[in-house]
């Protein structure tokens, strides 16, 4: 398992709900936490490891020792949003890229944990921003999509460079063609 980079097709994939919470899923989540911490991240969606499932992990502290801050969020739905604030965001699938994104200051999210129990969380500030960012991933939305047109234009050269690297990796045989990557996502959806 690895964190995929833009423009990998998984990053634009609308994830399907998780149907069963089992040992395989718990193992995936453990590996996702390891990848996230190794990459110095604070959130990671299943799409970012090329899995088309509606789940993500977060630890707003970014500190692997602060396990009390870890959240596993399965089949999330943001059921309320309040306020608005602009803040800087980045993404492990768009390394070294940052931009200002306007999001709700406070949210309430409904989801399931790894034991299959439904829960609701009221979050604000950074935790709310991270959950909104990761929920966007599950719908195939990336943070530049939420930026103003002018700000997004400033990122265009970086996005083009990510695309060029992706194509070079495919040409070198280091990464399958996009149609093969999409077929793999469809196959995983059926499992």
Angle at the Cα of 146 from the Cα atoms of 63 and 30, rounded to 5 degrees: 30
- In angstroms, rounded to a whole number, what is the distance separating the alpha carbons of residues 115 and 33? 17
Residues 6+ apart with CB under 8 A from 131: 43, 58, 73, 76, 78, 107, 109, 121, 123
Catalytic residue flag (residue 189): no
Please tell me whether the peptide bond between 148 and the residue prior to it is cis, using omega within 30 degrees of 0: no
Which of the following is catalytic: 34, 106, 134, 161? 134
Sign of CA dihedral 154, 93, 9, 11: negative
Catalytic residues: 134
């Amino acid at each position: 398992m690895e964190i995929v980079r833009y423009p990998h097709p998984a990053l634009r994939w609308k994830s399907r709900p998780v149907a069963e919470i089992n040992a395989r899923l718990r193992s995936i989540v453990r590996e996702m936490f390891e990848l996230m911490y190794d990459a110095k991240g604070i959130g990671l969606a299943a799409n970012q490891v090329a899995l088309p499932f509606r789940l993500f992990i977060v630890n707003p502290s970014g500190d692997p020792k602060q396990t009390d801050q870890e959240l596993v969020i399965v089949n999330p739905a943001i059921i309320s949003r309040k306020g608005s604030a602009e803040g800087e965001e980045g993404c492990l699938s768009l390394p070294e890229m940052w931009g200002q994104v306007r999001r709700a200051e406070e949210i309430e999210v409904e989801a399931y944990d790894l034991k299959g129990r439904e829960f609701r969380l009221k979050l604000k500030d950074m935790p709310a921003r991270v959950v909104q960012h990761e929920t966007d991933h599950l719908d195939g939305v990336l943070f530049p999509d939420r930026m103003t047109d002018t700000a997004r234009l400033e990122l265009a050269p970086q996005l083009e460079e990510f695309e060029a690297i992706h194509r070079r990796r495919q040409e070198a045989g280091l990464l399958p063609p996009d149609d093969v990557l999409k077929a793999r996502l469809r196959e995983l959806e059926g499992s």
